[in-house]
């Protein structure tokens, strides 16, 4: 399915992934595989919702469930460990060349997309669909090898170890793998910026990835602002900047994990700060960082405007807020197209959700 054509995330890879590899061979891509898992997860959710009113959709739910398991198994287990790197605790693209498989150890958003694939299933819904439930039970009995390296319908439990909430979790990473990935995600020396999650880890600023093959070097380094390469026309950059669409999907995923694991599951955010948060609190922290791109500081400057004083001092400009395509991974300055309402306008949704959270918190304390 992804043997050619445009996959997205432009220059995030070592190679231009819309063209034949200069090294020969082929790639197994962590993001392409995870996107298909994400697609199956969303279609499964839709099918189950429809099946609650019309049982005829249960067969469709079973189809997407089985496809999800096959994709998850390939990602985690194909050729022993799939695209998971046990040494680093991260998902990487793999280059297949001359019969050898080689992980391309670039810590980028490519390896975080598997987090998007989580699905929460309600026991109440499953009880209404005996055929679908029997299919999941068949997998447990007969295909245990396919589900050993994923989170397969794990039940929610409380701090005492008792089952609670009546929900189950389906996800490509196991809990242990998810925790290892979060250590990178929430490290300010890696992915976590003041403005959200960077598209490429900051670690590659001092340690760029370099691949030498057939006498040629291919590499990638941290570039938090405008692109320094002509790949895809040079007018887009996924090697460090913050992009709203994937940050938003990540926030939604963390909320699903938070709903499932509850108050007892906490992670340090930022790493090394001594502050421990639930995953729902981490999601809220990421929302606040994203929204802060547009909030004026003490001098009246908004980070997204990159120090352009017209937006601070000129009455005709000061209330104009532009929806930039992506944002500098260090300063927050808006980059690329300045009218990218197709996804950066998601900030309005984040403002709305934060207001609701703050309002609910205020009511609880009064």
pTM: 0.92
What's the pLDDT tens digit per position in 170-191? 999 999 999 999 999 999 999 9
Query: Over 70: is that where the pLDDT of 5 sits?
Result: no
Specify the higher pLDDT residue, 9 or 152: 9
What's the pLDDT tens digit per position in 52-77? 889 889 999 999 999 999 899 889 98
Give the mean pLDDT of 21-40: 89
Buried b (16+ CB within 10 A) or exposed e, 221-235: bbbbbebeeebbeee
What pLDDT does 64 receive?
A: 95
> Cβ atoms within 10 A of the Cβ of 365, count?
6
Contact 232, 16 (CB under 8 A): yes
Radius of gyration of the chain (CA): 22
20-24: long-range pairs with CB below 8 Å, 24+: 21/95, 22/216, 22/218, 23/95, 23/97, 23/211, 23/213, 23/214, 23/216, 23/218, 24/97, 24/98
Phi first, then psi, for residue 278 (nearest 5°) are: -70, 165
Count, residues in the chain = 366
Give the mean pLDDT of 130-134: 88
How sure is the predictor about 1, in pLDDT bands with cuts at 50, 70 and 90? very low
Percent of the chain with pLDDT over 70: 94
Spatial CA neighbour of 146 closest among 90, 77, 86: 77
| Structure tokens, 358 | 């703050």
DSSP secondary structure of 296-330: --TTS--GGGTT-THHHH-TTTTT---B-SEE-TT
Nearest-angstrom CA–CA distance, 62 and 42: 13
Helix then strand then coil, in percent of the chain rounded to 5, is: 45, 20, 40
Query: Over 80: is that where the pLDDT of 244 sits?
Result: yes
Specify the higher pLDDT residue, 327 or 138: 327
What pLDDT does 2 receive?
A: 45
Query: Over 80: is that where the pLDDT of 145 sits?
Result: no
Q: Which residue has the tokens 């890879």?
A: 13
Average pLDDT of the chain to the nearest whole number: 89
């Amino acid at each position: 399915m992804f043997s050619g054509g445009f996959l997205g995330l432009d220059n995030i890879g070592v190679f231009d992934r819309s063209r034949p590899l200069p090294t020969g061979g082929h790639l197994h891509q962590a993001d392409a595989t995870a996107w298909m898992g994400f697609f199956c997860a969303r279609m499964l959710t839709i099918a189950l919702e429809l099946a609650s009113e019309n049982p005829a959709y249960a067969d469709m739910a079973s189809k997407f469930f089985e496809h999800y398991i096959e994709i998850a198994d390939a990602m985690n287990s194909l050729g022993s460990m799939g695209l998971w790197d046990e040494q680093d605790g991260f998902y990487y693209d793999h280059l297949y060349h001359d019969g050898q498989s080689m992980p391309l150890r670039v810590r980028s958003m490519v390896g975080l997309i598997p987090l998007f694939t989580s699905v929460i299933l309600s026991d109440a819904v499953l009880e209404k669909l005996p055929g679908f439930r029997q299919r999941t039970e068949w997998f447990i009995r007969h295909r245990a090898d396919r589900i050993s390296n994923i989170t397969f319908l794990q039940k929610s439990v409380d701090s005492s170890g008792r089952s609670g909430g009546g929900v189950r979790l389906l996800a490509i990473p196991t809990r242990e793998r998810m925790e290892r990935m979060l250590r990178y995600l929430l490290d300010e020396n890696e992915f976590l910026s003041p403005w959200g999650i960077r598209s490429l880890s900051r670690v590659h600023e001092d340690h760029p990835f370099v691949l030498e093959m057939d006498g040629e070097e291919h590499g990638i380094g941290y570039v938090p602002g405008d692109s320094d390469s002509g790949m895809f026309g040079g007018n887009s950059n996924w090697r460090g900047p913050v992009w709203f669409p994937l940050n938003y999907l990540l926030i939604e995923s963390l909320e699903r994990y938070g709903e499932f694991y509850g108050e007892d599951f906490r992670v340090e955010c930022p790493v090394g700060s001594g502050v421990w948060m639930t995953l729902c609190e981490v999601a809220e922290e990421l929302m606040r960082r994203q929204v802060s791109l547009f909030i004026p500081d003490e001098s009246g400057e908004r980070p997204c405007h990159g120090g352009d004083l017209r937006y601070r001092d000129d009455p005709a400009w000061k209330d104009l807020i532009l929806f930039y395509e992506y944002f500098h991974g260090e300063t927050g300055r808006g980059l690329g197209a300045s009218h990218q309402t197709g996804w950066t306008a998601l900030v309005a949704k984040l403002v709305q959700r934060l207001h609701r959270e703050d309002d609910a918190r205020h009511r609880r304390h009064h």
